[in-house]
Amino acid sequence: MPPLISVKHRDGILHIPQDTLNDWPMAQFANTKDRGIVVKALGLELTSAFLSIFDAQSQQIIGEEALLRASVRRKALATSEVFKSAQGGDCLVEFDRLCRSLHLMNHLAGPYPKRTLFLNVYPELLMSTGEQHADAFERILQDQGLSPKDIVLEIFESTVLPDQTARLAKAIKSYRERGYRIAIDDYGFLNSNLSRLLTLSPEIVKLDRIVINAISKEPLAQELLCQFVERLHDNGSLVVIEGINSAEQLTLAQASGADMMQGYFLSEPRHLSSEAFVHVLASS
């Protein structure tokens, strides 16, 4: 196993994976009290926020979705714009690894490092980077004492082009053989395709918030949601309903037969080092 490299900063010492430092030798890492571990690279300051994933029936937190928070001169930037900038600078693969390494370190520094970590990935990276990229990230996982079985890779369903299904299915198969679980994110938004979804056969399907919003406004559609969740279960997929923003939507999500839930009514994205975090279900 490659060693972790100790990096000094004003608040102590951080242990950074060797592959991450090979990619970003000039990156500056620091540990902060309010935002956890941050890194400065590409002229940006990057850190992690986490959105909890709840079991639909027990209402216990079972996982965390890592979200990138980027800023320049204290001005927040959209994640999509940050990745476009990395792509334009011809360092998208390395930047993706840096972000995932950052999320891993913040996840493990939090109070519940044994929870499943959900990481967003772009389909293009899975399809185009091959075994070398997968090997490098797996070494980073090992550096941190984790394995692929601890990780769910989330793919944005709305960004998959119609002619990419076969290539993406092949890439997913390769990652699944390594032990990762695959989630299709944002299903139900823009160009969602049921045939493609069934072909990819993800372990987890995350229904976009537009779905629960539509169900809330149209009671007759509730039965359709139940039927769709059942169809996904028959295909071997667990179901997450995103965008739970009210008690009514929480009730609808539980009644649908879905397995997991996310949404600001349950918890908002936060830094795991924050002691002030309280979620709605904590006292229930």
Tens of pLDDT, residue by residue over 208-263, are 999 999 888 887 788 889 999 999 999 999 999 999 999 999 999 999 999 999 99
Q: Give me the chain's average pLDDT, please.
A: 85
- What's the pLDDT tens digit per position in 234-245? 999 999 999 999
274: Cβ contacts below 8 Å, ≥ 6 apart: 34
pLDDT for the residue numbered 181: 97
| Cα–Cα dist 256/119, whole Å | 25
Which residues are registered as beta bridge partners of 240?
206, 260
Split at pLDDT 50, 70, 90, the class of 13 is low
Please return the burial class of 215, using the count of CB atoms within 10 Å of its CB with bins 0-12, 13-18 and 19+. buried
**Could you tell me if residue 234 is inside a domain?**
no
Share of the chain above pLDDT 70, in %: 89
| Cα–Cα dist 84/68, whole Å | 14
CATH number at residue 87: 3.20.20.450
| Cα–Cα dist 63/209, whole Å | 18
Cβ-contact 100, 74 below 8 angstroms? no
Q: Which domain holds residue 134?
A: 47-202
Structure tokens at 189: 């938004």
Tell me which of 13-17, 70-74, 88-92 is least confident: 13-17
**Count of domains for the chain:** 1
Q: Averaged over 58-74, what is the pLDDT?
A: 94
pLDDT for the residue numbered 7: 47
**Could you tell me if residue 178 is inside a domain?**
yes
pLDDT for the residue numbered 134: 83
Split at pLDDT 50, 70, 90, the class of 273 is low
**Could you tell me if residue 182 is inside a domain?**
yes
Q: Averaged over 38-48, what is the pLDDT?
A: 94
pLDDT for the residue numbered 75: 94
pLDDT for the residue numbered 122: 81
pLDDT for the residue numbered 129: 65
Rounded to the nearest 10 degrees, the angle between the axes of helix 247-255 and helix 209-217 is 100
**Could you tell me if residue 196 is inside a domain?**
yes
pLDDT for the residue numbered 207: 95
Higher pLDDT, 148 or 157: 148
Q: Averaged over 63-86, what is the pLDDT?
A: 92
Q: Averaged over 14-29, what is the pLDDT?
A: 84
Split at pLDDT 50, 70, 90, the class of 12 is low
Higher pLDDT, 62 or 189: 62
pLDDT for the residue numbered 190: 57
pLDDT for the residue numbered 177: 93
pLDDT for the residue numbered 274: 47
- Asked if residue 118 has pLDDT above 60, the reply is yes
pLDDT for the residue numbered 21: 85
**Could you tell me if residue 229 is inside a domain?**
no
pLDDT for the residue numbered 191: 62
Cβ-contact 169, 127 below 8 angstroms? no
pTM beyond 0.95: no
**Could you tell me if residue 241 is inside a domain?**
no
Q: Averaged over 74-100, what is the pLDDT?
A: 87
**Could you tell me if residue 10 is inside a domain?**
no
**Could you tell me if residue 51 is inside a domain?**
yes
pLDDT for the residue numbered 5: 45
